[in-house]
């Protein structure tokens, strides 16, 4: 693997391993810091939404316009954006709603239900569900970081924040299923590794075929994926923690930080 692909892979790996931080919080914290989680989820959503519309979609449009002309380039970028939304939407629909781990959970729940071996299948399906959701996120982080390492760092950080409460949500039902904290932590961590697997797949399959047109389509598709994740997962979860205004401050703060970063990097 060449040096130019090492940083994107490490960023994706770090974002995926953040599920382990959520698992550790679930096992060692006594109380859920709802205000911090609400703000963090809002921050992550603000970063993703701002980057998607202001940077990724704009880059995709410029890249495609250079290849196909302004009108056709804009049409391809728009189609790719909604194609990304369609892709992650289909994945989301294929995961059974009962076992979908994208819901706010509190660490206090760790003490509220005894181990139940009958829940083992649900625990494994929960880990599989989160892995399926994380796979396209890994491709998105990797592809963006290849095109723009600085932007890749911001996206990896946003996805890592998003994965922390995700780790809590995955660990709790697996703990219910097994009664084993170590097994729940391990399975939760492994589910996050779907992101670097997605990155490796992107490197093996997409990179040899990479052209300016394909890169433009990927960037627009990534924007669509991140907008969907923000609207479908991050913002509702931030409000579910019971801190609606704190979540709003996080969203605005994430946009402001991202805007300042992009201005400084230009």
Per-residue pLDDT tens for 197-253?
A: 888 887 888 778 888 999 899 889 989 988 998 888 778 877 776 667 888 888 899
Q: pLDDT-based confidence at 173, cuts 50/70/90? A: low
Look at the chain and report how many structural domains it folds into: 1
Cβ–Cβ under 8 Å, residues 145 and 156: yes
**What is the CA angle 178-182-184, rounded to 5?**
50
Cβ–Cβ under 8 Å, residues 84 and 60: no
Range of the domain at 245: 3-265
Residue 20: its pLDDT value, please? 84
Ramachandran sector of residue 17 (left: φ over 0; alpha: ψ -120 to 50; beta: rest) = alpha
Q: Is the pLDDT of residue 11 over 60?
A: yes
Q: pLDDT-based confidence at 158, cuts 50/70/90? A: confident
pLDDT tens, 145-155? 888 888 888 88
> Positive or negative CA dihedral for 83, 86, 92, 95?
negative
Q: pLDDT-based confidence at 68, cuts 50/70/90? A: very high
């Amino acid at each position: 693997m060449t040096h130019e692909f090492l940083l994107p892979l490490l960023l994706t790996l770090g974002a995926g391993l953040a599920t382990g931080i959520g698992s550790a919080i679930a096992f060692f914290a006594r109380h859920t810091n709802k205000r911090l989680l609400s703000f963090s989820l809002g921050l992550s959503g603000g970063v993703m939404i701002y980057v998607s519309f202001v940077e990724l979609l704009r880059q995709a449009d410029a890249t495609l316009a250079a290849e196909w002309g302004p009108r056709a380039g804009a049409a391809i970028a728009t189609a790719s954006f909604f194609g990304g939304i369609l892709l992650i939407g289909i994945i989301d629909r294929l995961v059974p709603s009962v076992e979908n781990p994208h819901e706010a959970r509190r660490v206090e729940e760790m003490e509220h239900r005894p181990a139940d071996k009958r829940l083992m299948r649900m625990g494994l399906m929960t880990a599989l569900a989160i892995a399926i959701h994380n796979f396209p996120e890994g491709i998105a982080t990797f592809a963006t970081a290849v095109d723009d390492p600085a932007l890749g760092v911001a996206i990896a950080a946003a996805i890592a924040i998003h994965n922390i409460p995700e780790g809590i949500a995955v660990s709790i039902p697996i703990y219910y299923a097994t009664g084993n904290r170590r097994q729940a932590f391990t399975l939760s961590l492994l589910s996050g590794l779907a992101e670097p697997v997605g990155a490796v797949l992107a490197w093996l399959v997409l990179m040899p075929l990479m052209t300016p047109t394909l890169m433009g389509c990927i960037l627009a598709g990534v924007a669509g994926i991140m907008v969907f994740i923000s609207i479908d997962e991050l913002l509702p979860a931030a409000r579910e923690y019971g801190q609606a205004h704190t979540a709003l401050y996080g969203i605005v703060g994430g946009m402001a930080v991202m805007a300042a970063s992009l201005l400084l990097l230009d």
